[in-house]
Structures are given as structure tokens and as C-alpha cells.
Structure 1
Amino acid sequence: MKASRLLSVLLLLQSRGRMTAQVLADELEVSVRTVYRDVEALSAAGVPVYADRGPAGGYQLLDGYRTRLTGLTTEEAESLFLAGLPGPAAELGLGTVVAAAQLKLMAALPPELRSRASRIRERFHLDTPSWFRGQEQSPHLAVIAESVWNQRRLHLRYQRWGGQALVVERTVEPLGLVVKAGVWYLVAGAPEPRTYRVSRVLELAEGDAFERPEDFDLAEFWTAWSDRFERTLYGTRVRVRMTKAGLDRSQYRLTGFQARFIRSLEPAPGEEFDFPTESLRHAYGDLLGLGAEVEVVSPVELREQMIQTISAMHSVYEGGKLPPWE
């Protein structure tokens, strides 16, 4: 355990440069006192690590010192071949780069790790798009990725959700790209961070350079934004009650957010609860699929719509009377 931690300290200093004891402690999830002891152990082993005093100080390696030791474990080597993301990498124009990097890594691995990594690549494949939906065309993705990397503003013509009439023009500071279920999203400040679906970018032009906020965390932002988006999207509530079978079916018949919401409430069969939906129109489609296992209590207009539909269906199947086709 200590040897692994010492290697982590060494690789962190090599990859990031000067780091304070507190930052190292936070990164490794240990105490600052443990970091002090680890640095002393590295120095005793001949690693040229030294400390700068003062507010801007910290530990760093002697200029030019590099270790060729990677310390890859079997699991770490295997995980690198699972993280190749061949589809998204190809969309970014990096497909050949990823393949070349994996080839070099394969050649550098010792034989016992090489064989396992090779089996990983042969037996596992990541396909990011969801079922029954083709890959979205994002012709501007490579340019956007270049702007993210080079920290250059983008002037966008963007089609917002809702049709051609909602085309807007924005100048944004690209902070990161996220691929979600095969769909690419740009996270950009304008000035506050917002998300843009890359496939809806109609035209773009690169602008001048900007300073990226040092405290911006892409993964943290995306997690918080996704949670807000789902809660906003499913902002309408209708009062329902379900049978036990209906509660069970809701876990695979409804959307992931709706299923998680119902699980969090833990309603008993027959107990009324507020069901989250995008709108009454969406609730009609969602709940009709549960058949007689759900009852809409309110609002009245949705309840009446369900009754009318069920009555019309009864006429079709019981009396053979189809509604007018027009």
C-alpha cells in the first residue's frame, strides 16, 4: 500500500509540477503528515524532490527528472483498453491517434499484461449510441473540440429546440465536450456555463483566445446540470395510484427519472402519490401504457381523457366499432 502511494506521489509531481502538501493529501485521501513522511521516503530513495517555502511554495521534482516507471497493475492496464471510446474518438478525428497510442502501450507492456490487455480489446466493445436511434450528425464537432483545447471563443448560429424560428447567435467560451448516449454536448460560458447540443450548431467561426476559469470542473458541472435538467423537464405532477403490478411495471415501462422517482417514494399499492411528467400530454401516453394497473386521480381533464380513451377502446374490442379514420 505504501509503495503504491509513493509511486502515486512521484507520478503526480512528475505530471503536474509543483504541488502543496495539502493538495497531495487531498488527491491521495491521506493526512498531510503522511505526505511529509512519503516525501522524506522518496528523498531517502534518491528521488530529487525538494520543497519551496512560502505561500506559493510546494513540493516539486528537480528540473529534467523523469521516471520511466509507470507501475501499471494488471487492472490498470486492462482499464486503459476499455477506455478507448473508439466511436467518440473517431468523431473527434482522433481514431487513428487512439489506435496508435494503444499499439505503443501494448508494445511497452510486459508479456503477462500484454496478453490480458489484448483479450480485453478482443472481447469488449463500447457502443455509445442508444438503441433505435442513429448517430447524430455533428459536422462541426472537430472544430469545436479544437477550440475547447486551444481556449478560443466561438461565434455560433444555433438552432434551439422548437424549430427553425428559434435560431440564435451566440459568442461563447468553450469549456468542454460531453458525450451522453451517443449525443455530443458543448459546455460553454457565455458568461455563465450553459450546454449546447452540437448537432444543432448551424454555423460557427473561431474567435480570440480566452482565459479558462481555474475552478471549473467539467464532470461536476455536468452532474449538477443533468440533475437540474431532469427535474425541470419533469416539472409537471399528476396524482395517481398504482397496483403492485403497476409499480413493478413502472420500473421498466417508464423513463429512468420517473422510475427512480417512484422508487424513492416507495408508495404502497393503492397509495396516492404525485407522478412526475413533462406535461399532461406526456402523462397521457406514459400512464396509458400501464393499462388497468394505474388510476389517474387528478387533474380532472387528464382523468376524463383516460376514461374517454378506455371507453373508445372498449367499443373497438367489445363491439367491433372502429372510430372514424379521418
Structure 2
Amino acid sequence: MTTPAATSPSFTDAAERALQGDPVMIREVLSVIGAFSVRLLTAFLILAITLWAAKRLANVARRAIQRVPHHHHPGDTTLSDFVSGVVRYVVIAVGLIAVLQQIGIQATSVLAVLGAASLAIGLALQGALSNVAAGVMILMLKPYRVGDRVEINGRSGKVTDLDLFNTTVVDYDGLTLFFPNGKIFGELIVNVDQSDRRRVDITFGVDYDDNLDVALTLLLSCAKADARIFETPAPWARVTGLADSAVNVTLRCWTTPGDWQDAKCDLIKVVKERFEAEGLSFPYPHQVTVERDPLSRTPALQGSAEIS
């Protein structure tokens, strides 16, 4: 009894017999070549359709992200580019698996190798991947954008660049700060420019003998005279505390975030000059000098006080 292996000639034997003019082997070889050619042509067709579909779907995903009003920002295409890239490579990966299956290569072993490699790469780059995940969330939620003034991890400055890995901030000293997105997301983020107004708080100390009503009237007058200060909400001035050597009066008013620093500094200067012009004084802290009598254990107080 012969085995199937003995009765079934190898492809090499079939090719040799076909070259020798065996008509049966010639038909078998041509049949195999024809079948493989059809499968190869189908694989090329699948590959062409995959590349076309990947490009088309990537463009659709990009336009879809850009149409969302909450995410859209002129010139900010980082998120849309990332999403379109993910869609493109996912479609290409699925198409390549279909191509491998078509030409007779078992894709399960390839997927196993790719899975193991992906796991190893993921473990090695878990810090970078966490930055990417945080970058995607920042791009979606938009706690800040390029051009905003922010305070991140105790450092203040202006955002000059934002990508999937890092946020670049130039602080007010001209230093360039690179924050990994993984260190930012989940922490406190202060966005100075996201609101259309910011409150100015200024506290002054006036002498206990001064007229507090005059001081409060001068504070409101100085705020209303500044064109950068909003009329609504109206400026607010009240007595806010009794200190050791002065009565604290506070002015609160609103301006734009861009004018906040200049308006605050100018108001301090103007209020000081108006207070002095109206005879209001700013008390200085006083320190009494105590000298010990060398012949007595009781300390003697000097009659005059010294200003520290």
C-alpha cells in the first residue's frame, strides 16, 4: 500500500515532468500558477483599496474633528492630525492582514509576534505613552491653548507650543520651560486668558486718625477715572481690617487680563499720590529701643521712638 506522500509528486518533480513534456503535469503546474496569480492579483487589489480607503477615511476623520466647535481652533491641527493618523494606520494594518491571508500566509503567527513586540515596546515607553494619552486629553478638553498665559506646577508664562508629548511655556524671565503632558494633566492649571476679565485687589494702610470715608471715596474715584477699569461690576471699596499701626482699606475692581498688571501698578501710584494730596498718611511700623541700665536689672525705655 502506498502512502499519499508517495503518490503525490512534489512541486519540483511536477515541474521537471512538465519540462519533459508530461501533459498532465503541465496542466497541474499551469493550474497552480493560475490560482496563485489570481490570489496575487486579488492581494494587490486589496492593497490598493486599503491604501485608498486609509487616505479617504483619514481625511474624513480630520474634517470631522475640525468641524466640532468645542475642539476647533484656527491653526491648531494637532488633535485632528493625530486622530487621522491613527485611523489611517489602523485601516492599513487591517488591509495588510487581509493581504497576508490572501497570499497564503497565516496572519495569526504574525499577529502574535506583533503583539509581543507591542507589549515590549509599551513597557519600555510607558512614560512616553502616558504623555501621549495626557496630550490627547489636553487637546480635547482645551484647558489652555497656544498663546494663553498660564500657571503650571507653580511656574507662570505664555504657552508657545503644544504637542502630544510636551507643552512649551516661555516664562516672564524669558526662560523656555518644557512640561511633559503627563506631569500637567491632573494637576492644577491656572489659565489667565481664558476669562474675559480679572479682578484687581489693592489694600492700603491709613492712619487711625485719618478720615476713612475720604479714603474710600478717593479709592473709588481713582478706579472710575481709569479707562481700563470696568464700570460693571462696579468698583468696590471697604474697610477690611485693623492692623497694629494702620487701618486697612481695600479697592476691588475688574479689568481685562491683558491690562491687569499695568492697571494694578498704575492704581497703586495714583492712589498714593491722591492720598498724600488729601492729607492722608501711610503709617510706618515703629520700634521702641530698650536700653539696660548697667547698675540696675530694670530696663530703661528711651523717650523717643525710632523708625525701622
State the TM-score, normalizing by the size of structure 1.
0.23
Larger radius of gyration: 2
